[in-house]
Amino acid sequence: MSARRNLFVVLSLLALLHVYIGLRLMPDLGLGLAGMLAGTVFLVLSTVLVPVGLLSSSLRRRRWSEQLAWMGLLAMGLFSSLLVSTFVRDLVLLVAKLAGLAGAGFIHYSALAVPLLALGVTFIGFVNARRVARVKTVEVPIDGLPEALHGYSIAQISDIHVGPTIKRPYLNAIVNRVNALEADAIAVTGDLVDGSVQRLALHTQPLARLSAPDGAFFVTGNHEYYSGAEEWIVELRRLGLTVLLNQHVVRQRGGASLMIAGVADYSAHHFNPAHRSDPVAAAAGAPLGLAVRILLAHQPRSAPAAADAGFDLQLSGHTHGGQFFPWNLFVPLQQPFVAGLHRVRQLWVYTSRGTGYWGPPKRFGAPSEITLVRLVPASA
């Protein structure tokens, strides 16, 4: 009953927000009867399609399910930009009216600008989201880094979200680009999938081709727990990835030792108490004299615990860099970092903007990335 009530509330809110957009824009556009009818039909369709987008990862596989998912997710992206642009226009109109500048022409053309801007942002965002992520090189200075580890590299991919609109060809292109980097190790820092193994195993198959001398590693993200984490762990191990669940491995370069550890997602214990994220447990039993201690942790908010556990570097994702405006403004409400390299005491934390996208195929102001992390000696 509670789930039905929540669904009713969400659908009612969506309907009201679409009514708000219509009331604030259509009268000022001077559309005429035919235009008003077309605008109303568009808003009704959007009201229906946006919930389809929200539920796209759980749609049953039927003849038109994939096309419906695409339509729903595109509608989500466009609706988001329409809503934000309409709200911003209202704020501008309020200021203009107070300043005595809100003439009929200003009102009309500002109303026209809203759908044009929303369409433009949605189109550019679509192109940005669907292209193969570019490589971003990040140098991390490590105190006392042994010469044998100078330039040690990890290729990080994160938040691909294989699912309704991200399929095998998209992932295949990512794997090709990662392998071309010839990194020492590869890290997949969670939120790989949105859907079950049964539904998506064919589309994650390219991961079997990931190749690096020191191995390819995976840690769970919150979306793995929405999608059957235990089954995905088995499947990823079958594909040849090393899944680190509060565990570590040690790799050698010359006479220097480096530890790569991984924790389950920060929220994993809500789904499986045995998967409680624990950086201390991940490092337990590590040999003395390690030159570098690296932690893979999906969410940046694992950083304080990682610093307490003595790690030198944490690689994270989760935030998507906000993916598109204005959602980047809300990330700091939950996470300490939105994107990039930051410091928590002795710990460096790198937060990837993600290699794919979640939900709408849309990235605006937060480009996707394949990160090549290189260890360099800290300057004196």
Nearest to 258 by CA among 357, 326, 184, 204: 184
Count of residues in the chain: 380
- CA-to-CA separations, 224 to 143, 265, 268, 335, in angstroms, rounded: 35, 9, 9, 19
CA distance 134 to 152: 20
- 353 contacts 321 by C-beta, under 8 angstroms: yes
Q: Three-state SS for 259?
A: strand
CA distance 109 to 29: 8
- 247 contacts 207 by C-beta, under 8 angstroms: no
Provide the pLDDT for residue 55: 76
Q: Token pair for residue 159?
A: 């938040």
CA distance 348 to 311: 9
Provide the pLDDT for residue 327: 82
Domain definitions of the chain by residue range: 2-130, 134-377
Q: Token pair for residue 13?
A: 């809110």
Provide the pLDDT for residue 268: 96
Query: Going by DSSP bridges, is the β-strand pair 347-351/340-344 parallel, antiparallel, or unpaired?
Result: antiparallel
- DSSP code at position 193: B
Angle at 234 between CA 228 and CA 239, to 5 degrees: 120
- 126 contacts 165 by C-beta, under 8 angstroms: no
- DSSP code at position 360: S
Contacts of 244 (CB under 8 A, 6+ apart): 217, 218, 219, 260, 261, 262, 263, 282, 296
pLDDT in tens, the chain (380 residues): 576 787 788 889 999 999 999 999 999 998 889 999 999 999 999 999 988 877 776 666 666 778 888 999 999 999 999 999 999 999 999 999 888 888 889 999 999 999 999 999 999 999 999 999 999 999 999 999 999 999 999 999 999 999 999 999 999 999 999 999 999 999 999 999 999 999 999 999 999 999 999 999 999 999 999 999 999 999 999 999 999 999 999 999 988 999 999 999 999 999 999 999 999 999 999 999 999 999 999 999 999 999 999 999 999 999 999 998 888 888 999 999 999 999 999 999 999 999 999 999 999 999 999 999 999 999 85
DSSP 137-184: EEEEEETT--GGGTT-EEEEE----BSSS--HHHHHHHHHHHHHT--S
101 burial level (CB within 10 Å; 0-12, 13-18, 19+): exposed
Check whether the bond before 326 is cis (ω within 30° of 0): yes
Residue with tokens 């107070």: 98
CA distance 210 to 178: 8
Residue with tokens 């996470």: 335
Strands, E assignment, the chain:
134-142, 153-157, 185-188, 216-218, 242-243, 247-253, 256-262, 292-296, 313-316, 340-344, 347-351, 369-377
Beta bridge partners of 261: 248, 295
pTM for this model (two decimals) = 0.93
* Other C-beta atoms lying within 10 Å of the C-beta of residue 362: 27
The yes/no answer on whether domain 134-377 falls in CATH 3.60.21.10 is yes
DSSP 227-258: S-HHHHHHHHHHTT-EE-SSEEEEEEETTEEE
- DSSP code at position 196: -
